[in-house]
Amino acid sequence: MEAAFAPAISSNIPWAAVLGNHDQQSTLSREGVMKHIVGMKSTLSQLNPPDVPDIDGFGNYNLEVHGIEGSELTNKSVLNLYFLDSGDYSTVPSIPGYGWIKPSQQFWFQRTSRKLKKTYMHTSNAMKAPAPGLAYFHIPLPEYASFDSSNFTGVRQEGISSASINSGFFTTMVEAGDVKAAFAGHDHLNDFCGKLMDINLCYAGGFGYHAYGKAGWSRRARMVVASLEKTGKGGWGDVKSIKTWKRLDDEHLTTIDTQVLWSKRSAGKVLRM
């Protein structure tokens, strides 16, 4: 962990993390790993929401990106980041395979989303839509299997290693209405991003050199950038667009598969229909 997070720490860049499915397979429990992460320099990671003592897993939290100081959005989040622990392996004997996002976590997400939407949409400018949100967890949802090469950007080189049951979290995100993209890891040879019911389901891309990979296929990291809208008075407003691309660990640090995940303009068109 010290080596993995060292670049962000040495650059004094705030960073956050979620747990994968192998983190308890050494000398620390999943709780112990997350507690260690929370204690590291420059991290914004949290162990769990303090007001939900009985939530499943560790590393369930949200981060608010507030508007520019001096604007009406100074104390309101213009971009909401949701982090959830997708677990490791099923603890139900009759259900084989990987873990999933549990009802207690989904309830917390729903409550947090509602609160953030209510705060944001009661500005003096009377926002007509909630601030966009991004969700991060490790194990992909079963809905990641909905795509083929005709409707995603990137590659699918192995099966979708989701839980063997569907916990309904994708439906929960659709109903909430603010999440524009979700990001998972777990499958090291998949790096695609496809849209389903107005939510982009994306893989982070095969990143590390300590796990399995593919000869001749460069390791890669997904970048996500949210851009703010300029106002008429030379200031800054809310989020205008969210874009993504992948950076390859090759000789030229090549950028590939640039795409727009969400834009305020296209969202506005949808709202007017």
Instruction: Give CATH superfamily name and number for 2-221.
Output: GpdQ, beta-strand dimerisation domain (3.30.750.180)
Q: How many CB atoms lie within 10 A of CB 175?
A: 10
β-bridge pairing 236-248 and 220-230 = antiparallel
- Tens of pLDDT, residue by residue over 79-121, are 999 999 999 999 999 999 999 999 999 999 999 999 999 988 8
Integer Cα distance of 11 and 49 in angstroms: 27
Nearest in space to 138 (alpha carbons), one of 178, 83, 92, 180: 83
How many H-runs (helices) and E-runs (strands) does the chain carry?
Answer: 5, 9
Which are the contacts of 217, defined by CB distance < 8 A and separation ≥ 6? 157, 189, 206
115: helix, coil or strand?
helix
- The answer to whether residue 268 scores a pLDDT higher than 60 is no
Quote the pTM value: 0.94
- Tens of pLDDT, residue by residue over 156-199, are 999 999 999 999 999 999 999 999 999 999 999 999 999 999 99
Domain extents for the chain? 2-221
Confidence at residue 266, expressed as pLDDT on a 0 to 100 scale: 73
**DSSP per-residue letters across 221-245:** EEEEEEEEEEPTTS-EEEEEEEEEE
b/e per residue, 189-201, with b = 16+ CB within 10 A?
Answer: bbbbbbbbeebbb
Token pair 């991060």: residue: 136
3-state percent helix, strand, coil for the chain, nearest multiple of 5: 20, 25, 50
245: helix, coil or strand?
strand
| pLDDT band at residue 125 using 50, 70 and 90 as cut-offs | low
Query: What does the radius of gyration of the chain's CA atoms come to, in whole angstroms?
Result: 19
Bridge partners of 182, per DSSP, are 135, 201
Q: Which two tokens stand for residue 209?
A: 């050199």
- Tens of pLDDT, residue by residue over 256-265, are 999 999 999 8
Token pair 């979620």: residue: 18
- The answer to whether residue 273 scores a pLDDT higher than 80 is no
The distance from CA 228 to its chain's CA centroid, rounded to whole angstroms, is 19
- Tens of pLDDT, residue by residue over 36-83, are 999 999 999 999 999 999 999 999 999 999 999 888 888 889 999 999
Q: How many CB atoms lie within 10 A of CB 225?
A: 10
